[in-house]
Chains A and B, each alone.
Chain A
Amino acid sequence: MTGHEHSQVEVHHKEGFIRKYIFSTDHKTIAKQYLITGIIWGFIGMILSWFMRLQLAYPNQPIPLLEKILGGWAEGGILKPEFYTALITMHGTIMVFFLLTAGLSGTFSNYLIPLQIGARDMAFPVLNMLSYWVFFAASVVMLISFFVQTGPAGAGWTMYPPLSALKNAVPGSGFGTTLWLISMALFIVSSLLGALNYITTTLNYRTKGMSMGRLPITVWGMFVTAILGLLSFPVLLAGAVMLIFDREFGTSFFVPSGLVLGGQPVPHEGGNPILWQHLFWFLGHPEVYIVLLPAVSIVGEVLATNSRKPLFAYKICVGAIIGIGALSMIVWGHHMYVSGMNPILGEIFVVTTLAISFPTAILIFNYLVTVWRGSLRFTPGMLFALGFLGLFIPGALTGAFLATAPVDIQLHDTYFVVAHFHFTMATAAAFGMFAGVYHWFPKMFGRMMNDKLGKIHFWGTFIGVYLIFFPMFFQGIAGVPRRYYSFTEYNFTSQFIGLNKFITIAAFIAGAAQFIFLFNFFWSMFKGPKADKNPWKANTLEWQADSPPPHGNWGPELPVVYRGPYEYSVPGAEEDYIPQTASIKVEAK
Chain B
Amino acid sequence: MTQEVIFEQEKILKSPWGGGKSPFGVSREKFTMWIFILSDAFTFGGLLAGYGALRASLPSWPSRLEIFSAFPFINAKLPLLFVSIMTFILICSSLTMALAVDAGKRMDKKGVIKYLLLTIGGGFLFLLCQAYEWGHLIHEGARLTSNPWGVPLFSASFFVITGFHGSHVLSGVIVLIIMAIRVAKGIYDKRGSYEGVEVAGLYWHFVDLVWVFIFAFFYLL
**Is the Cβ of B47 less than 8 Å from the Cβ of A251?**
no
A253 touches B164 (CB 8 A): no
Which positions 186-210 of chain A face chain B at CB distance < 8 Å?
Answer: 192, 195-197, 199-200, 203-210
Contacting residues of chain B (54-79) with chain A, CB-CB under 8 angstroms: 54, 57-58
| Set of chain B residues within 8 Å of A584, measured between Cβ atoms | 2, 5-6, 9
CB distance from A72 to the nearest CB of B (A): 35
Among B137-157, those with CB < 8 Å from A are 144-145, 151-153, 156-157
Contact flags (1/0) for A320-339 with B, using CB distance below 8 Å?
00000000000000000000
Identify B19's interface contact among A210, A253, A269, A270, CB under 8 A.
A210
Q: Verify B58–A278 contact, CB threshold 8 A.
A: no
> In the complex, A204→B18 CA distance in Å?
10
State in angstroms the CA–CA spacing of A399 and B42 once bound together.
Answer: 28
B18-49 residues at the A interface, CB under 8 angstroms? 18-25, 27-28, 31-32, 35-36, 38-40, 42-47
Residues of A within 8 A of B156 (CB): 245, 251-253
A239 and B23 in contact, given A123-B32, A245-B144, A275-B54 (Cβ under 8 angstroms) = no
A527 at the interface (CB under 8 A from B): no
Are A253 and B35 in contact (CB-based, < 8 A)?
Answer: no
Nearest-CB distance from B207 to chain A (Å)?
15
Residues of chain B within 8 A (CB-CB) of A207 are: 19-20
Known: A234-B43, A238-B47. A211 touches B17 (CB 8 A): yes
B124 shortest CB reach to chain A, Å: 25
Using Cβ atoms and an 8 Å threshold, which residues of chain A touch B151?
A: 269-270
Interface size class on chain B is 35 or more
Chain B at the A interface: SS class: helix
Quick one: which of A234, A238, A252, A587 contacts B2, CB cutoff 8 A? Answer: A587
Decide: B6 and A208 in contact? CB cutoff 8 A.
no
Task: Kindly provide the distance from the CB of B48 to the nearest chain A CB, expressed in whole angstroms.
Answer: 9
Most buried by A among B5, B6, B28: B28
Provide the bound-state CA to CA distance between A203 and B19, in Å: 8
Cα-based distance from A199 to B151 in the complex (angstroms)? 43
CB of A192 within 8 A of CB of B20, answer: no
- How near does chain B come to A166, taking the closest CB pair, in angstroms? 14
Is there a chain B Cβ closer than 8 Å to A588's Cβ? yes
A18 beta carbon closer than 8 Å to chain B: no
Tell me the minimal C-beta distance from A194 to chain B in angstroms: 12
Q: Which of B19, B24, B145, B160 contacts A250 (CB 8 A)?
A: B145
Flag if A200 contacts B13 (CB, 8 Å).
no
* B46 A269 Cβ-Cβ under 8 A: no
Q: Are A235 and B42 in contact (CB under 8 A)?
A: yes
Known A209-B12, A239-B46; contact A272-B31, beta-carbon cutoff 8 A:
no
> Do A245 and B160 touch (CB < 8 A)?
yes
**Which residues of A sit under 8 angstroms from B23, Cβ to Cβ?**
203-204
**With A211-B12, A251-B153, A269-B152: A279-B19 Cβ-Cβ less than 8 Å:** no
Contacts of B216 in A (CB 8 A): none
Nearest Cβ on chain A to B28's Cβ, whole angstroms: 4
Q: A11: CB under 8 A from chain B?
A: no
Which residues of chain A come closer than 8 Å to B84, judged between CB atoms? none
Q: Does A550 contact B (CB under 8 A)?
A: no
A232: chain B residues at CB < 8 Å are 42
Partner of A235, one of B22, B38, B43, B195: B43
What separation, in Å, do the CA atoms of A237 and B21 have in the docked complex?
Answer: 34
Q: How far is the CA of A584 from the CA of B13 in the complex (A)?
A: 14
Q: Which residues of B contact A249 (CB under 8 A)?
A: 144-145
Which of A1-9, A100-108, A142-150 is the interface stretch?
A1-9
Cβ–Cβ contact A251 & B54, under 8 A: no
In B79-138, which residues have CB < 8 Å from any A CB?
none
Q: Could you say which of B2, B9, B32, B40 contacts A209, with CB atoms under 8 Å apart?
A: B9
Interface residues of A in 299-351 (CB under 8 A from B): none
Any B CB within 8 A of the CB of A561 = yes
Known: A209-B9, A209-B18, A239-B50. A252 touches B153 (CB 8 A): yes
Cross-chain contact of B45 among A195, A211, A235 (Cβ < 8 A) = A235
12 extra interface residue pairs, beta carbon distance < 8 Å, beyond A252-B145, A282-B46, A584-B9: A2-B22, A123-B32, A195-B39, A200-B31, A203-B23, A209-B12, A230-B38, A231-B42, A238-B45, A251-B145, A251-B153, A252-B156
Please list 9 pairs of residues, one from A and one from B, whose beta carbons are closer than 8 Å in the complex, sorted by A's number: A2-B21, A123-B28, A204-B28, A214-B12, A234-B42, A249-B144, A253-B153, A270-B58, A587-B5
Interface residues, chain A, with chain B CB atoms under 8 Å away: 1-5, 117-118, 123-124, 192, 195-197, 199-200, 203-212, 214, 230-239, 241-242, 245, 249-253, 267, 269-272, 275, 278-279, 282, 561-562, 584, 587-588
